Amino acid sequence: MITLITPTGDRPLAFALCQLWIKNQILKPDQWIVIDDGAIPLEPLVPMEYVRRSPTPGSGSTLIQNLSVAVPLIKGDKVFIIEDDEYYAPDYVLRLSEYLNAREVVGICRSKYYHLPSGKFLRIGNVTHASLAQTSFRSTFLPSFISQLKGDTYLDMRLWRVAMSGSRGFLFEDRAKSLYCGIKGLPGRAGIGAGHREGLYRAQDSAHRPQLREWVPVDFSYYFDILSGALTTENHRAYFQTREIFP
Residues 6+ apart with CB under 8 A from 67: 5, 7, 35, 81, 149, 155
Give me the CATH number covering residue 186: 3.90.550.10
| Torsion 17-124-158-174 (CA) sign | positive
Domain extent at residue 223:
2-242
pTM greater than the 0.85 cutoff: yes
Residue 163 in any domain: the answer is yes
pLDDT at position 26: 98
Total domains in the chain come to 1
pLDDT at position 58: 58
pLDDT at position 125: 86
DSSP secondary structure, 70-129, as one string: HGGG---SEEEE--TTEEE-TTHHHHHHHHHTT-SEEEE-S-EEEETTTTEEEE----S-
Rounded to whole angstroms, the Cα distance separating 224 from 221 reads: 5
The one-digit pLDDT tens for each residue of the chain (247 residues) are 999 999 999 999 999 999 999 999 999 999 999 999 999 999 999 999 999 998 876 556 789 999 999 999 999 999 999 999 999 999 999 999 999 999 999 999 999 999 999 999 999 989 999 999 999 999 999 999 999 998 788 899 999 999 999 889 999 999 999 999 999 999 988 766 666 677 788 899 999 999 999 999 999 999 999 999 999 999 999 999 999 999 8
pLDDT at position 184: 94
pLDDT at position 100: 98
Residue 247 in any domain: the answer is no
Residue 191 in any domain: the answer is yes
Order the strands of the 112-115 sheet from edge to edge: 86-88, 180-184, 112-115, 120-123, 203-204
Question: Torsion angle, CA of 84/169/138/95, rounded to 10 degrees?
Answer: 60
Contact call for residues 19 and 220 (beta carbons, < 8 A): no
pLDDT at position 54: 87
pLDDT at position 73: 98
Residue 16 in any domain: the answer is yes
Residue 47 in any domain: the answer is yes
Residue 103, burial from CB neighbour count under 10 angstroms (0-12, 13-18, 19+): buried
pLDDT at position 60: 64
pLDDT at position 205: 97
pLDDT at position 59: 59
